[in-house]
Amino acid sequence: MFVSALLITNLAFAQDTSLYKVQRLPFNSRSYSAYAPMILEDGLVFCSNRKLFKNFPKDYKTKTGYRPFNLLFTSQKDSLKWNTPKIFSKDLFSKVNEGSSTFCEYTKTLFYTRNLLTENTFSVENNTLGIFYTIWSPSVLMNIRDFPYNKPEYNIVDPSISEDGTTLYFASDMPGGFGGFDIYRSHFIRGVWSTPENLGPDVNTRNSERYPFIYQDNRLYFSSNGHRSMGGLDIFFTLEKDSTWTKPAPLDVPVNSTSDDFSFVADSGLATGYFSTNRLGNDDIFSFTNLMPSLLGCMEQIENKYCFRFRDRKVEVDSIPNLIYSWDFGDGTTETGIRVRHCFSDSGVYKVKMTITDVLGPGVFYSEETLTVKATPREQVFINVADVDSEGVAGEPIRFDGLSSYLPEIIPSEYHWFVDENSISNEPEMVYVFNKPGTYQVKLVIKGIGKKEDEMKEYCSSVSLVIVERMEEN
Amino acid sequence: MRIYKFLILFLFVGLPSRLILAQPVPAQVENIPYLVTFGNQAETYWGDDDFCQLFFFLVPEDYSDPVYIRVFDPDCGGKIDEINLGFDTRTEFSIYGGVGCWSDKDAQGTQPVGNYRSGNLLDSRTFGVDPEYDGKWYTFGPFDPRDGEFSDEFNGYYFKIITQGISGNDGNLYQYYLSTEEDRNVSVEGGNAFTYEYTFRLWNDTVNVSHIYPYVEDGTVRVKQRNFDWDSDGRIDIYSIDRNNSSAVVSGEDYWSESEIVIMEGEVGKSLDFQFVKRKKPLVVNNNVVITTMNQYEENLRFFTKPIGGVPKYKSDPVFEPDDE
């Protein structure tokens, strides 16, 4: 037992592998808040209560001095500089709060959060928030429509629309939830938004869950001050598999901090994106670069087989009278036939000899050729799973290694292990203990410098592992 | 610069030179027991369509000593020849040289018609029942090589021998030899022999495989073979450097059959190998057969006893490809 524990420690069991690089964006202000970024074309739409100047129609304030939030837009000048934010759309501007937004490129629909009451009022108190949507283009604004479940009795906020525009995720403190704000979703079916569906206790807690960001229909990022956050709101992600959500996992430091970290959005490859945080006092928008490998292209590992078909290219038929084709595969096995298939038991270089003889007698017909066959493993990351026959046992350590990977294009330099998307280890070998029975996806990403092109490349494979309950000894 | 093409071809022959002596006709690489010519009163179903066989001998230009054309068992009687009721056949052997002996169009035909006896008659002798020559050699010559017809195709002199059954109905089985000596068989270095129509005897067993080697001249696209009176005795398989699974249509009793193959690029300028594989059961004995080949212009191709380009040896092209399915 002690030995086992030592082994686990030595093989970097469950290491922290945060590889995010974050940066506060220069357009943030020390005096005002900025949050809820939304990537739109070549810039960002975000919420801010900052004071706007020339291009702002009127600087509203409540009697108490509260300056409402509005949707602003800014874009990058170059890799370091951003343009001065300006109002995103005068048509969307109101005297009350406009909040977080989302845009569906497919349906050209913009969803955003706003106080329900805008006319004849300048109050944000007792004025709950709802979601509104409209067909949007830079030059044309169509009718703004209410999300049908907006109610004065509760808030519906933080929209995130699926890629196809048919599922809207949002946060709400409507009755019936688990506490605070919960994440819900509604489907747009035949022109009608379905009754909001609470994502359930795997996602929602007694505390608040806000700012959903749905990615490729099944990967949900959200913010929560539950789920044992580091402090305040943290950003988590979860995957929907077979109609259930995996246990939410927090993003690593420095994306998350002991302050509020929220409203995560990312580009189409999850390599870069933005989030909000108040770690420096005000709400600011930060950018992040995900130095972690992308698991999106991770393919199921394919068993290495060293099988080949052999034939005489000059012959189209399957048999020839009198002639016998004999194949000596150089591994101690032989076969006859014009076309044969052979699987070598292992990788290696084999000298395969083909002989054609004539049954009519020696000297009548004879031909011999030798082929050099290089049986190489499939070009892929290869995960060896030791200590396991067909199923692993919960609570018992299982050793994994990627040492049999065949990646001739690169010189491997980084190893990244994941179990169900959770980063586990950065070593070529690892030992992991699955505490609960179930089916797990173990993924390994190997990065390295290309041998031909001097650039980093990465490869990924995954294996599915079934973990069963430990059998109790009598 | 003059190219001694024939000599070069000789050097590239794939088998040891002792095995590819051209001057025995049939040659050892042909593994044919005997040539055969029937008396002109025989029925064609005995296996001879025209009772005549033309062969040409080629003496290299640079060989200047006398040559002899020898005939083994020229008589028609005794153990070797094929009797029909009683031996009464007379066979004429005639040697021709000089201009036209080969180049005359009729000499390159497959039937003894027109001017097939072109050229200068150098010698002739008719044999009947002559026990003196039964199982023995008869020698024509000496001949000055320059008495043949010169051709620069292979840079040599051509002699023609016509064997024709002029009476009777028996089968005369015989062999030739182009020799440098009168009383023994000594090959002429670089010599060769060929015919446009081969009439010969198949083996009286099922083991031996006979071969002939049609030469595929430049420009040949298709080769048609015609064979006569094969008695459906097995198969004719066609091989070459690029071919190991072609077959020719085989004739039955007293009729011609023909078939065609498309020539591959690698076969041009080389020889094909026609292999005669006898059927196993029932054994056909004393099977005399005739075969010719022609190109797409119906020009007859030559069967060289020493195959041009060497005995074609099939060169396989084994390949492999991954198959993880």
Q: What confidence score (pLDDT) does residue A323 get?
A: 86
Q: Taking CB atoms and an 8 Å limit, are B318 and A307 in contact across chains?
A: no
The minimal CB distance from B322 to the residues A307, A322, A361 is found for A307
Scanning every residue of chain B, which has its alpha carbon at the shortest distance from the alpha carbon of A354?
Answer: B318
Q: What confidence score (pLDDT) does residue A58 get?
A: 57
At B171, is the secondary structure helix, strand, or coil?
strand
Tell me which of A126 and B185 has the higher pLDDT.
Answer: B185
Query: Residue for token digits 């005639």?
Result: B94
Q: What confidence score (pLDDT) does residue A335 get?
A: 96
Q: What does the pLDDT look like over A140-188, one tens digit per residue?
A: 667 889 999 999 999 999 999 999 999 999 999 999 999 999 999 999 9
The minimal CB distance from A320 to the residues B207, B244, B317 is found for B244
Pair A47, A35: CB distance under 8 Å: yes
Residues on chain A touching B237 (C-beta within 8 angstroms): 321-322
pLDDT interval class at A474 (50, 70, 90): low
Q: What does the pLDDT look like over A13-62, one tens digit per residue?
A: 233 445 688 999 999 988 889 999 999 988 999 999 887 755 555 556 66
Q: Which of residues 258-277 of B touch A (CB under 8 A)?
A: 275, 277
Pair B17, B148: CB distance under 8 Å: no
Q: Does A336 touch chain B (CB under 8 A)?
A: no
CA A459 to chain centroid, in Å, comes to 15
Scanning every residue of chain A, which has its alpha carbon at the shortest distance from the alpha carbon of B243?
Answer: A314
pLDDT interval class at B200 (50, 70, 90): very high
Q: What does the pLDDT look like over A413-458, one tens digit per residue?
A: 989 999 987 788 889 999 999 998 999 999 999 988 888 877 778 8
Give the distance from residue B235's alpha carbon to the nearest chain A alpha carbon, in angstroms: 10
Q: What confidence score (pLDDT) does residue A125 get?
A: 63
Q: Taking CB atoms and an 8 Å limit, are A307 and B314 in contact across chains?
A: no
Tell me which of B9 and B293 has the higher pLDDT.
Answer: B293
Q: Taking CB atoms and an 8 Å limit, are B316 and A310 in contact across chains?
A: no
Q: What confidence score (pLDDT) does residue A365 get?
A: 60
pLDDT interval class at B226 (50, 70, 90): very high
The minimal CB distance from B209 to the residues A315, A360, A367 is found for A360
Average per-residue pLDDT in chain A?
A: 86
Tokens of B167: 């009476």
- CATH topology for A305-375 is Immunoglobulin-like (2.60.40)
Burial B232-255 (b: 16+ CB within 10 A, else e): ebbbbbbbbbbbbbbebebbeeee
Residues on chain A touching B319 (C-beta within 8 angstroms): 310-313, 371
Residues on chain A touching B275 (C-beta within 8 angstroms): 364
Query: What pairs with residue A354 in β-bridges?
Result: A327, A369
Strands (E), B67-170: 67-72, 90-97, 120-127, 137-143, 149-151, 156-167
Q: What confidence score (pLDDT) does residue A80 get?
A: 83
Mutate to test the interface with B, among A323, A365, A368 (most CBs of B within 10 A): A365
Tell me which of B104 and A436 has the higher pLDDT.
Answer: B104
Q: Determine what percent of chain A is predicted with pLDDT higher than 90.
A: 55
Q: What confidence score (pLDDT) does residue A362 get?
A: 53
Q: What confidence score (pLDDT) does residue A455 get?
A: 77
Task: Supply the DSSP symbol for A320.
Answer: -
Cα dist from B155 to A159, A213, A403, B14, B98, whole Å? 95, 90, 69, 22, 15
Mean pLDDT to the nearest integer, B248-265: 96
Q: Which of A296, A465, A304, A297 is nearest to A382 (CA)?
A: A304
At A225, is the secondary structure helix, strand, or coil?
coil
Residues on chain A touching B207 (C-beta within 8 angstroms): 360-361
Residues on chain B touching A363 (C-beta within 8 angstroms): none
Is B251's pLDDT higher than 80? yes
Q: What confidence score (pLDDT) does residue A87 get?
A: 87
Q: Does A471 touch chain B (CB under 8 A)?
A: no
Q: What confidence score (pLDDT) does residue A49 get?
A: 87
Top-level class of domain A384-468? mainly beta
The minimal CB distance from A373 to the residues B239, B243, B320 is found for B320
Q: What confidence score (pLDDT) does residue B51 get?
A: 98
Tell me which of A2 and A317 has the higher pLDDT.
Answer: A317
Q: Taking CB atoms and an 8 Å limit, are A354 and B318 in contact across chains?
A: yes
Q: What does the pLDDT look like over A331-346, one tens digit per residue?
A: 999 999 999 999 999 9
Instruction: Pick the range with the lowest mean pLDDT from A113-127, A220-234, B10-24, B90-104.
Output: B10-24
Q: Does B313 touch chain A (CB under 8 A)?
A: yes
At A462, is the secondary structure helix, strand, or coil?
strand
Is A226's pLDDT higher than 50? yes
Is A293's pLDDT higher than 90? no
Helix and strand totals (H; E) in chain A: 1, 37
Q: What confidence score (pLDDT) does residue A366 get?
A: 66
Q: What confidence score (pLDDT) does residue A473 get?
A: 61
Mean pLDDT to the nearest integer, B142-171: 96
Q: Does A321 touch chain B (CB under 8 A)?
A: yes
CA B127 to chain centroid, in Å, comes to 21
Considering chain A, tell me which residue range(s) the CATH 2.60.40.10 domain(s) occupy: 305-375, 384-468
Question: In whole angstroms, what is the distance from residue A348 CA to residue A373 CA?
Answer: 8
Q: Is the dihedral of CA B39, B45, B49, B55 positive or negative?
A: negative
Residues on chain A touching B325 (C-beta within 8 angstroms): 307
The minimal CB distance from B320 to the residues A302, A364, A371 is found for A371
> Per CATH, the architecture of A18-291 is what?
6 Propeller (2.120)
Across the A:B interface, residue pairs with CB atoms under 8 Å apart total: 75
What one-character-per-residue DSSP string does A163-202 give? TTS-EEEEEE--TTSSSSSEEEEEEEETTEEPPPEE--TT
Give the distance from residue A404's alpha carbon to the nearest chain B alpha carbon, in angstroms: 18
Considering chain A, tell me which residue range(s) the CATH 2.120.10.30 domain(s) occupy: 18-291
Residues on chain A touching B209 (C-beta within 8 angstroms): 360-361, 364
Give the distance from residue A340's alpha carbon to the nearest chain B alpha carbon, in angstroms: 9
Tell me which of B193 and A447 has the higher pLDDT.
Answer: B193
